[in-house]
Amino acid sequence: MKSLEGWDEIPEKLNRLYTPQLNHISMKMPSSPLLVARPSPDNFCNSSSIDDDCRAGYCECSHVLSVKLNSVVEVIIVDEGVTFDANHPFHLHGHSFRVVGLRRLATETTIEEIKEFDRAGLLKRNLKNAPIKDTVTVPDGGYTVIRFKADNPGYWLFHCHIEFHVEIGMALVFKVGEHKDMAPIPKDFPRCGSYMPDNMLELATTEKPKTDSQISISHWWPVVVVNNNSTSSAASLTISGFVILCSLCILKLNGT
């Protein structure tokens, strides 16, 4: 059986192993696709549900952040730059986003320093003609600020685009909307395990949409006025703030 221990718990430096995480959590992919399994929130975790031991030790789970449908979501991605002098390219599925801020502060920074910058009004945001992307770099020892309108209901992966980083846990999932907002599941479509259909799926569904209208995945890009803490709203828009820490948590794989 193998156990995972924190960096400071391993006296021998040669036995230490770096592994990328988000908010001190290694993403563990569920056994079934979330869009068809539609599990309860009890099957997920995020920084609000884990304990402080994850900062020093190892935590893995299905890392999911829930956002309201049609809300405007701001994500501040921070690379503390402690481990390597290298950037992380981040990619969001299901949506494009506006890059409203990006800056390298030094060779190293902390999440507390970035929060203090924001409180002091020093975390500048460009809200006029900000570039639209689905992938953006996060500078080593700095931050990137993105915004997207969560208008495409479903479960959408957000991850580092360095292949082995996402494979070992530098990812999370945005749950956009509630299950009732998501596309209906085809009739007789299995909700767990692997599935290779022999024939075409029937057009009938087990779940009927609330209305006859189709779900729109077109994007509308609002101009949003915010205060220094990035929590205000303009008109009927809702800004949901998440601070996502791209930290290289340091672990050791100990075979016993």
What CATH architecture applies to the domain 17-30+43-182+222-255?
Sandwich (2.60)
What is the band of 132 on the pLDDT scale with cuts at 50, 70, 90?
very high
Q: What are the domain boundaries of the chain?
A: 17-30+43-182+222-255
What is the band of 256 on the pLDDT scale with cuts at 50, 70, 90?
very low
**pLDDT exceeding 70 applies to what percent of the chain?**
68
- pLDDT above 80 (res 178): yes
What confidence score (pLDDT) does residue 113 get?
Answer: 92
What confidence score (pLDDT) does residue 222 get?
Answer: 34
How far is Cα 59 from Cα 247, in angstroms, rounded to an integer? 13
Q: Mean pLDDT lowest for which of 134-138, 177-181, 242-246?
A: 242-246
DSSP string, 141-192: TEEEEEEEE--S-EEEEEEESSHHHHHTT-EEEEEES-GGGSPPPBTT--SS
- pLDDT above 90 (res 133): yes
Phi, psi of 147 (to 5 degrees): -135, 140
Structure tokens belonging to residue 88: 């992380």
What is the band of 204 on the pLDDT scale with cuts at 50, 70, 90?
very low
- pLDDT above 50 (res 233): no
If you ran DSSP here, which 8-state letter would residue 130 be given? Answer: P
Residue 199 CB partners (closer than 8 Å, separation 6+) = none
pLDDT mean across residues, the chain: 76
In this structure, are residues 101 and 161 in contact, taking their beta carbons and an 8 Å threshold? no
What is the band of 186 on the pLDDT scale with cuts at 50, 70, 90?
confident
What confidence score (pLDDT) does residue 119 get?
Answer: 92
In this structure, are residues 154 and 166 in contact, taking their beta carbons and an 8 Å threshold? no
pLDDT higher at 193 or 25: 25
Phi, psi of 179 (to 5 degrees): -60, -35
Q: In degrees, to the nearest 5, what angle opens at C-alpha 48 toward C-alphas 47 and 51? A: 75
- pLDDT above 70 (res 41): yes
Among candidates 241, 229, 224, 226, which has minimal Cα distance to 121? 229
Residue type, 185: I
How far is Cα 37 from Cα 34, in angstroms, rounded to an integer? 5
How far is Cα 81 from Cα 78, in angstroms, rounded to an integer? 9
- pLDDT above 60 (res 248): no
Helices (H), 67-146: 111-119
**pLDDT exceeding 90 applies to what percent of the chain?**
38
Q: Mean pLDDT lowest for which of 44-53, 68-77, 230-239?
A: 230-239
- Contacts of 202-208 with CB under 8 Å at 24 or more apart are 208/184
